Amino acid sequence: MSSNKDTVGGTIKVALILCVVCSVFISSAAVILKPFQVSNKLLDRNKNILIAAGMFDPALNSDSEVDALFAQFDLQVVDLDSGEALSAERLAELNIDPATYDERAVFSDAQYSDAIPADEDVADLKRRVKYATVYTLDASDGSLETIVLPISGYGLWGTMYGYLALDGDGNTVNGIGFYDHKETPGLGGEINNPRWKALWPGKQIFDADGDVALSVVKGAGEGVHEVDGLSGASLTSRGVDNMIEFWLGSNGFGPFLTNLSEG
């Protein structure tokens, strides 16, 4: 006895079974892999913070060293307007966990971010988060040794994201690093060239009046406030200059750094 399986109904049945099996497989994979994605994202963030602070070199250090090095940092989520760290109650109200809070994920959410008035939007960001994580590291004598701040701003082709590390005085640059950008490799992409980044440590942010004086200039930078611009990449260099002006100014971490200097 034989049966003809090549019917329209049979084909639809096989296709439906295949769809259900595939969707169950893909959904299970997404659920099972989610914790790995989250921990890899955090590992990457932590590594970039350590790189900006000059504590990690991907060529010398292994990923397994990241956790131990990063564990030395304290995390505080700061209200950018007041420059004050959020209390535990306020963090709970806002549903923010400092360990996993991601400024980029809440960038468009009106509860967590505001539109920047056009005349104040020097880094061309359009919006600014109300709360940002500050990473601090204490020296063995208990004094503040390093402060790492998340920074971002538009370059030539898109928004550049990075970290700026400062010494405990809140004024001297310790290092800088970028972990996401769309600049052209060999031109604007040189923002991640170790030789260019080596020009930053020791530079001073504020002048004697407390105004942001650190800038990226076209050509060779002079003195403690100027960093050489990247040759052939003036527009990216200006973008970095703008993000420094924005994030260290009154709309960025200015109030936090003022509080810090006033003890």
Interface residues toward ligand FMN, by CB under 6 A: 156, 183-184, 187-188, 231-236
By beta-carbon proximity to ligand FMN, the closer residue of 96 and 244 is 244
| Cβ at position 153, least distance to ligand FMN in Å | 13
By beta-carbon proximity to ligand FMN, the closer residue of 129 and 216 is 216
| Cβ at position 231, least distance to ligand FMN in Å | 5
Which two structure tokens, joined as six digits, stand for 191? Answer: 């923002």
| Cβ at position 190, least distance to ligand FMN in Å | 9
| Cβ at position 186, least distance to ligand FMN in Å | 8
| Cβ at position 235, least distance to ligand FMN in Å | 3
Q: State how far the Cα of 53 lies from the Cα of 100, in Å rounded to an integer.
A: 20
Q: State how far the Cα of 144 lies from the Cα of 13, in Å rounded to an integer.
A: 67
Q: Which residue is nearest to ligand FMN (CB)?
A: 188
* Residue 180: how many other CB atoms lie within 10 Å: 13
Q: Which residue in 94, 95, 102 sits closest to 161, CA to CA?
A: 102
By beta-carbon proximity to ligand FMN, the closer residue of 147 and 244 is 244
Residue type, 179: Y
Residues near 241 by Cβ (< 8 Å), separated by ≥ 6? Answer: 215, 216, 217, 229
By beta-carbon proximity to ligand FMN, the closer residue of 5 and 218 is 218
Q: State how far the Cα of 223 lies from the Cα of 225, in Å rounded to an integer.
A: 6
By beta-carbon proximity to ligand FMN, the closer residue of 103 and 226 is 226
What are residue 198's phi and psi, to 5 degrees? -70, -15
